[in-house]
Each structure stands twice: as structure tokens, then as C-alpha cells.
Amino acid sequence: MLQRIWAGMAAMWAVMAVFAVLALRQAPVAPSATSATTHAVTSSSTVASRPSTTSATQVAAVTRTS
């Protein structure tokens, strides 16, 4: 019985390790060779944070006169 519990826990840890490796694989993206006119300045995996009237609100983008 104890062996089965240990085997189950080991399997669970193995699955978690796979997820951790997959998450770590998120390396910065390089511009493709054909996007010569685009110029990367930074790469990030966080959302931008902008202040709002009521609280610090997480937003993904800001629209403004372009």
C-alpha cells in the first residue's frame, strides 16, 4: 500500500516537473528574418500596469492618438 502511495506521489511530481519545464521554455521571441522594418526594443511576460481613477489597474494596452 505504502509503495502505491509513493508511486502516486512520484508520478504527481513528474507531471509538475513537466509543467515547470514547459513554462521555462518561454524564451524571448526573436523577430523573424522577414520583419526587417520592425525593431524590437524589449520583450516581457508581464502586463503593463497603469494607474486608474480607483486603483492600480492592470491593462494590456493603452489607446491614444497615434
Site residues (vs another protein, CB under 8 A): 19, 22-23, 25-27, 29-32, 34-48, 50-55, 57-66
Of the pair 1, 19, the CB lying nearest another protein is at: 19
Count of CB atoms situated within 10 Å of the CB of 26:
8
Q: Quote the least distance from Cβ 24 to another protein, whole Å.
A: 9
**Rg of the chain taking only CA atoms, in angstroms:** 21
Asked if residue 59 lies in contact with residue 48, where contact means CB atoms within 8 angstroms, the answer is: yes
Q: Quote the least distance from Cβ 5 to another protein, whole Å.
A: 26
